[in-house]
Chain A
Amino acid sequence: QQQVKQSPQSLIVQKGGIPIINCAYENTAFDYFPWYQQFPGKGPALLIAIRPDVSEKKEGRFTISFNKSAKQFSLHIMDSQPGDSATYFCAASKGVRDDKIIFGKGTRLHILP
């Protein structure tokens, strides 16, 4: 049973484009939704995170959009650069009650120069 479903599996975007990665969840007990970025040979690194009481959060070129009623959230990368090429994971946790993080399967993003 996959608790966090992520799509697409892979994505190729031209430099300057806006890749969008989507995630969906079922468990309404989740109250913390982080995104992680992983480069080959490295562990995942926290990119940006959101709680369900806000609908959007921006940090630099990265934006999370959150739709609580649809139980969906997405990552947008503005003005994408070749250095953004990595695997991106959406994730969820129950925060205060249980901060174990459940990850999606990941999206391999390639930004063409």
Chain B
Amino acid sequence: DTGVSQNPRHKITKRGQNVTFRCDPISEHNRLYWYRQTLGQGPEFLTYFQNEAQLEKSRLLSDRFSAERPKGSFSTLEIQRTEQGDSAMYLCASRPPRGLLGYGYTFGSGTRLTVV
């Protein structure tokens, strides 16, 4: 499978616990994006990487959220001290270097987080 892979697909956690999600982008894609989608809403941008550099973070990304892409390949998104408001689908997307295939992203199937 050459698509964007996200793990786990589902995560249920108790309020206050820490969770970590993983995203494996398409191998030749140097840009990687994290989005959050709540029920009935469109995806909202959280952060993105070009190779291993984190280039932009949304104001939605509070201090409890941290993302890494240590070797410019896979990425992790960690949420510390989870709150019920963090319940959402966390989507990862990637795209190739500019000039190839335009600006379209390829999204993974997401990690659905439920905080109880």
Mark A residues whose CB is within 8 Å of B: 6, 32, 34, 36, 41-46, 49, 89, 91, 93, 95-96, 99-106
Contacts and interface: CB of A to CB of B under 8 A. Distances in A.
Contact of A96 (B43, B98, B108, B109): B98
A43 B103 contact: no
A91 B43 CA distance: 10
Contacts of B41: 105-106
A46 B110 CA distance: 15
- By secondary structure, the B interface counts as loop
12 contacts: A34-B104, A42-B110, A43-B109, A43-B110, A44-B43, A44-B91, A46-B104, A46-B105, A89-B43, A93-B103, A100-B48, A105-B40
Contacts, number: 55
B67 interface: no
Interface of B: 4, 31, 33, 40-45, 48, 56, 91, 93, 95, 98, 102-110
B93 A43 contact: yes
B109 A41 contact: yes
B91 A43 contact: yes
B91 A106 contact: no
Given A95-B103, A101-B105, A103-B42, 16 more contacts: A32-B103, A42-B110, A43-B4, A43-B91, A43-B93, A43-B109, A44-B91, A46-B104, A93-B103, A96-B98, A100-B45, A100-B48, A101-B33, A103-B44, A105-B40, A105-B41
